[in-house]
Amino acid sequence: MAQSPLLLRRLLRAKDRMDRAPHEEWPVGRLAEVSAVSPAYFAREFKKAFGLPPHRYLLTRRIERASALLRDTDLPITDIALQTGWTSLGTFGRIFRDITGASPGELRVTTRPAPDAAAHIPECVMRGAERPDLNIAVLEKRRQKATGKL
């Protein structure tokens, strides 16, 4: 059954808030308030509309932004972790590696563009190309890696 346009607008309002401020805490209750629906209904309908649960969507945005900062700036990794919403450097590094397959430092070294190459590629294209694949939960990725299924 298709979702109503009114509900989709409400869900987009919450999604836009996460996109504007991915560094903030976005528990389902807060997102549901933004959308003016109950938390359980919000979580279920958000996943139906966008293909990912709200938390996983937020993780995607945080990792995407951290990857761009690692690639395009010389900020210390600690500052990048804090700017993208992580309160623990260890958690940031572990989840970043689980999702991207490389530590933040390794990614910085391997994705630095040639001096003039980055000027020719729009940021939206770079973000899309480097968007993390979070179709499965991070813990499930770890389990698959441990059992050799990944």
- pLDDT value, residue 96: 95
Please state the rounded mean pLDDT for residues 23-30: 95
Binning the chain into helix, strand and coil, the percentages to the nearest 5 are: 70, 0, 30
Query: What is the spatial distance between Cα 46 and Cα 60, in angstroms, rounded to a whole number?
Result: 15
Task: Give the number of other Cβ atoms within 10 Å of residue 125's Cβ.
Answer: 10
CATH for the 56-147 domain, from 2.40.10, 3.40.50, 1.10.10, 2.60.40? 1.10.10
Please state the rounded mean pLDDT for residues 59-87: 94
Task: Output the six-digit token pair for 61.
Answer: 């945005």
- pLDDT value, residue 116: 61
Q: Please say whether the beta carbons of 19 and 61 come within 8 A.
A: yes
- pLDDT value, residue 66: 95
Task: With a cut of 70, say whether residue 150 has pLDDT above it.
Answer: no
Q: Please list, in sequence order, all residues whose beta carbon lies within 8 angstroms of the beta carbon of residue 99, skipping any fewer than 6 positions away.
A: 59, 63, 132, 133, 134, 138, 141
Query: What is the spatial distance between Cα 88 and Cα 97, in angstroms, rounded to a whole number?
Result: 14
- pLDDT value, residue 131: 72
- pLDDT value, residue 3: 85
Task: With a cut of 80, say whether residue 106 has pLDDT above it.
Answer: yes
Please state the rounded mean pLDDT for residues 116-139: 69
33-56 per-position pLDDT tens digit: 999 999 999 999 999 999 999 999
Please state the rounded mean pLDDT for residues 91-96: 94
Please state the rounded mean pLDDT for residues 103-126: 76
